[in-house]
Amino acid sequence: MIDSELQKFIGDNNLTVLQAMQRIDANEHGILIIAEESGRLIGSLSDGDVRRYLLSGGRLEDNVTLAANQHLRIAHSYEEAVSLFHKKIILRYLWLMGGEISSVYILEMNG
């Protein structure tokens, strides 16, 4: 079961781009992790991803997966996250309950 605080950062892959934008606005952190109902990670969506998608001709009614960044790198340990951070590719990370890092979502800066 996903913690309710973390849930506001996760969106279903059946959302439209508009619905995803509303979720990003509601969580106030500029990012939404896109996952299947089963929990399988698909990608992430940032304000910038939405802007680039719309400027390239995408529509608000389109499926969020069309606008999402699907080229993620995931750190499964603190050490791996620190290593990726020092390579300057971490843009966002999610903290889980209790201040422990369970997983860190990594976005390529050159993506």
User: Region 42-61: what's the mean pLDDT?
Assistant: 94
* Per-residue model confidence (pLDDT) at position 36: 86
Tens digits of residue pLDDT in 74-91:
667 777 777 766 665 444
Rounded Cα–Cα distance for residues 51 and 38 (Å) = 28
Task: Write out pLDDT tens, residues 11-50.
Answer: 999 999 999 999 999 988 888 989 888 878 888 898 899 9
